[in-house]
A and B are shown apart, each in its own frame.
Chain A
Amino acid sequence: MKHFTKFLVLGIFAISLFTSCAKQPTEQIDAAKAAITAAQAEGADVYAPEDLKKLNDSMQAAMDEITTQSKKFFKKYGPAKEMLAKVQADADAVKASIPAKKEAAKNAAIQAQTDAKTALDEAKALLDKAPKGKGTKADIEAMKADLAGLETSFAEIQTAIDSQDFFGASGKAATIKEKAMAISDQVKAAMEKVKGKK
Chain B
Amino acid sequence: MLRGIIPLCLVLSSCQAPPVPPEVERVKTQEHELWRAGAPIYAQQDYARYLEVLGAARDKLNREKARLRWFRDYEKIRADFLVVLNQGEIILETVRNEKQTQSLDYSQRLSVLRGRIAKIKTVTESMNENGQIRRSLTQAEVASQEAGLLLKNEKYQELEPKLERIDLHLRGAQEALFGLLARYADEGQVDQWRKWAEDTVRESRRRGNTALVVKKLERTMTVFRSGRPAAIYEIGLGKYGLSDKLYAGDEATPEGRYKVIKKISGSRFGKALLIDYPNDVDRREYSQAKKKGLIPARAGIGGLIEIHGGGNDCLTNGCVAVRNEVIEDLFPTIPVGTPVTIVGCLESADRLLSSLGKT
Given A137-B313, A137-B314, A145-B131, is A71 in contact with B63 using a C-beta cutoff of 8 Å? yes
> Smallest CB–CB gap between B236 and chain A, Å?
6
Which of chain A's residues have a CB closer than 8 A to the CB of B126?
138
> Smallest CB–CB gap between A83 and chain B, Å?
14
- Does residue A94 face the partner (Cβ distance < 8 Å to B)? no
- Does residue B119 face the partner (Cβ distance < 8 Å to A)? no
Given A137-B313, A138-B313, is A57 in contact with B134 using a C-beta cutoff of 8 Å? no
- Does residue A179 face the partner (Cβ distance < 8 Å to B)? yes
Which of chain A's residues have a CB closer than 8 A to the CB of B254?
none
> Smallest CB–CB gap between B188 and chain A, Å?
30
Which of chain B's residues have a CB closer than 8 A to the CB of A150?
138, 142
Per-position 1/0 for B120-131, Cβ under 8 A of A? 000001101011
Interface residues of A in 108-151 (CB under 8 A from B): 134-139, 141-142, 144-150
- Does residue B30 face the partner (Cβ distance < 8 Å to A)? no
- Does residue B278 face the partner (Cβ distance < 8 Å to A)? no
- Does residue B92 face the partner (Cβ distance < 8 Å to A)? no
By the criterion CB–CB under 8 Å, are B139 and A149 in contact? yes
By the criterion CB–CB under 8 Å, are A67 and B62 in contact? yes
- Does residue B109 face the partner (Cβ distance < 8 Å to A)? no
Closest to B28 in A: A57
Closest to B145 in A: A175
- Does residue B171 face the partner (Cβ distance < 8 Å to A)? no
By the criterion CB–CB under 8 Å, are A138 and B145 in contact? no
- Does residue B253 face the partner (Cβ distance < 8 Å to A)? no
By the criterion CB–CB under 8 Å, are A139 and B146 in contact? no
Which of chain B's residues have a CB closer than 8 A to the CB of A67?
59, 62
Which of A53, A68, A137, A146 contacts B62, CB < 8 Å? A68
User: How far does the alpha carbon of A53 sit from the alpha carbon of B39 in the complex, in Å?
Assistant: 13
Interface residues of B in 124-158 (CB under 8 A from A): 125-126, 128, 130-139, 141-143, 145-146, 149
> Smallest CB–CB gap between A103 and chain B, Å?
22
> Smallest CB–CB gap between B211 and chain A, Å?
26
Number of A-B contacts (CB under 8 A): 97
Interface residues of B in 34-76 (CB under 8 A from A): 35-36, 58-59, 61-63, 65-66
By the criterion CB–CB under 8 Å, are A53 and B32 in contact? yes
Q: How many residues of B contact A (CB 8 A)?
A: 42
Which of A72, A179, A197 contacts B141, CB < 8 Å? A179
By the criterion CB–CB under 8 Å, are B149 and A171 in contact? yes
By the criterion CB–CB under 8 Å, are A69 and B66 in contact? yes
> Smallest CB–CB gap between A120 and chain B, Å?
12
User: How far does the alpha carbon of A146 sit from the alpha carbon of B173 in the complex, in Å?
Assistant: 12
Per-position 1/0 for B187-213, Cβ under 8 A of A? 000000000000000000000000000
Closest to A146 in B: B138
> Smallest CB–CB gap between B167 and chain A, Å?
16
Given A141-B239, A171-B146, A197-B311, is A68 in contact with B136 using a C-beta cutoff of 8 Å? no
By the criterion CB–CB under 8 Å, are A57 and B32 in contact? yes
Which of chain A's residues have a CB closer than 8 A to the CB of B125?
142
- Does residue A176 face the partner (Cβ distance < 8 Å to B)? yes
Residue with the highest number of chain A CB atoms closer than 10 Å, among B126, B268, B311, B315: B315
By the criterion CB–CB under 8 Å, are B315 and A134 in contact? yes
Q: Can you report 22 residue pairs joining A to B where beta carbons are below 8 Å apart?
A: A53-B35, A67-B59, A67-B62, A68-B62, A70-B66, A71-B62, A71-B63, A72-B66, A134-B315, A135-B269, A135-B314, A135-B315, A136-B314, A137-B313, A144-B131, A145-B131, A145-B132, A150-B142, A153-B143, A172-B146, A179-B138, A179-B141
Q: What residues of chain A have their CB less than 8 Å away from a CB belonging to chain B?
A: 50, 53, 57, 64, 67-72, 134-139, 141-142, 144-150, 152-153, 168, 171-172, 175-176, 178-179, 197
Across the A-B interface, the 10 shortest Cβ-Cβ residue pairs = A149-B138, A71-B66, A145-B134, A149-B135, A145-B131, A67-B62, A68-B62, A68-B65, A175-B145, A153-B142
If A134-B316, A141-B128, A145-B130 are given as contacts, then 18 extra A-B residue pairs at C-beta distance below 8 Å, sorted by A number, are: A53-B32, A57-B32, A64-B58, A68-B66, A71-B63, A137-B313, A137-B314, A138-B313, A141-B131, A141-B315, A142-B131, A145-B134, A148-B131, A148-B138, A149-B137, A171-B149, A175-B146, A178-B145
